[in-house]
Structure 1
């Protein structure tokens, strides 16, 4: 087998062990723990994307409201 396949098998074996050990410690099913991590990762990415869009909108609004005018005749 190739090096990439060995690395993939190593991370699959030890990566899935983390959620199963956590589920055993909490007394839950392993599937529930994995689904929780998937949902929380989507939530956190979506949350920060929403914050980014809100800030972009507010900065654009600020630029429209507070424009620097060099003289009185620029109104």
Structure 2
């Protein structure tokens, strides 16, 4: 059970961590509010979370391609 919790907290896209670092807010507080808002709005923030996760993944890919452009040809 702890392995699943660790994976979700540290590996699942990193959206809450990225928001926390940019805004200067604790990651746990962002996760808590995300859960509260998801329950109140019947899960619609999950769509926003997935869009943000996609955006962060594309951003990492583009940054990695800039550092080593020959690797992605």
**TM-score, normalized by length of structure 1?**
0.40
Larger radius of gyration, structure 1 or 2? 1
Higher-RCO chain (CA-CA 8 Å, sequence separation at least 6): 2
